[in-house]
Amino acid sequence: MNDPYMQMFSPNQPNTPDQLKQVMVVEPFVFAAASSLVGKYAVIETTRGSVSGMVRDAKPDHIVIQERDSTFFVRLCEVIWIMPDTTN
């Protein structure tokens, strides 16, 4: 097969347009800050408002906040800032 167009879209080629690639945005410094607050109270400002409560878990793509009976899963790419809450 010498046709460059056919080589580019051949199913045997690794970069065919029909192959899906998963992309994950990682915020390493936000993740490090969130990880340091696991088990502590924090205030998290997001693009949709603030959430406060105990940081239950931190993953590379989200943080888990528990506020009374509610649990919030906040995507780290939506976090503007994180502050430890020393009032609790």
Residue 5, pLDDT > 70, answer: no
Closest alpha carbon to 81 in 43, 52, 54: 43
Q: Which helix (H) or strand (E) holds 8?
A: helix 4-8
25-76 confidence digits (pLDDT tens): 778 898 999 999 999 999 999 999 999 999 999 999 999 999 999 999 999 9
Q: What pTM was estimated for this model as a whole?
A: 0.70
Model confidence at 87, pLDDT cuts 50, 70, 90, reads: confident
- Residue 3 has a pLDDT of 56
Report d(CA 70, CA 47) in Å as an integer. Answer: 19
Report d(CA 50, CA 41) in Å as an integer. Answer: 13
- Residue 24 has a pLDDT of 72
